[in-house]
Structure 1
């Protein structure tokens, strides 16, 4: 039985059938291909409150990666938190630092920072006068779709 036949009949593959699976990718056009003026859509209230800084979700139908815009006000520091998904931050503006498992990583505009899965971390703006802003790319949707995405906020979930 090939993959197409299994899909039609509803049959399930087992580990013994691994050699019988043949990918047949197909294009499915999503309803939405662009999210215009992301920051004008407003902050994501839950994440902004939990992280103690403005967070804007990019609302596109991605199933494997997500993109958010994070802002840090002058002197602002986020809650320590951790999650099972990886994160790459790309700093758009400002200077600050990210603490990852107790190690301080200083960053500035143009830098990229990697946060491994399940590492306790937090972010702080180093400026008392200027905001900082970054893009956060994560594989959260992929892990959510697999049912293994977890997130903890220090002091709340422990």
Structure 2
């Protein structure tokens, strides 16, 4: 059974009560995220493997990103913030003109609308990270933008 959410307009301001209602979502766990397979379109566009954590969040998203040995991603930017948590590997993220080196166990913050890209420094081992973003929140507000150098510019 699918529940339809009410869409509010400016005339409904008086209906935004400070009395939240708990609604149990249909899904609380996504088991074996990487075994569910890569997101083909996203992985192809980003030129590195990406696995989505498929849970019904409305404000934050999580993905598992992989960097192949020696891989450098496309330079891109977006209106949402990102925090990367490095699971394995060693490399750097270039944020605007600053190079931020990272290794397993590190977390890296990427500010909104900052040009950035990621590089795996190992020629032999892959790197892997979890990316947490507030993209769904901005998508639901209609203000999420993403720009890829070479595609959009």
TM-score normalised per structure 1: 0.87
Deviation at 1:51, TM superposition (A): 1.2
Aligned positions of 1:62-141 closer than 5 A: 62-141=57-136
Distance 1:95 1:47 in 2: 23
Match of 2:12 in 1: 12
- The unaligned stretches of length 5 or more in structure 1 are 1-6
Selected match of 1:30 from 16, 25, 32: 25
Are 2:36 and 1:41 aligned? yes
Match of 1:154 in 2: 149
Distance 1:48 1:21 in 2: 39
Distance 1:157 1:88 in 2: 24
TM-score normalised per structure 2: 0.90
Deviation at 1:102, TM superposition (A): 1.8
RMSD: 1.7
Deviation at 1:142, TM superposition (A): 0.3
Runs of 4+ more than 6 Å apart: none
CA contact (8 A) 1:50 1:153 kept: no
Q: Bigger CA drift: 39-48 or 132-141?
A: 39-48
**Partner-residue secondary structure (3-state), 2:12:** coil
Count of residues paired in the alignment = 145
CA contact (8 A) 1:64 1:139 kept: yes
1:127-154 CA-to-partner distances (Å, cap 9, x unmatched) read 0111100000000000000000000111
CA contact (8 A) 1:64 1:142 kept: yes
Distance 1:44 1:21 in 2: 36
Deviation at 1:22, TM superposition (A): 3.9
State which structure, 1 or 2, has the greater radius of gyration over its C-alpha atoms: 1
Deviation at 1:11, TM superposition (A): 4.8
- The unaligned stretches of length 5 or more in structure 2 are 1-6
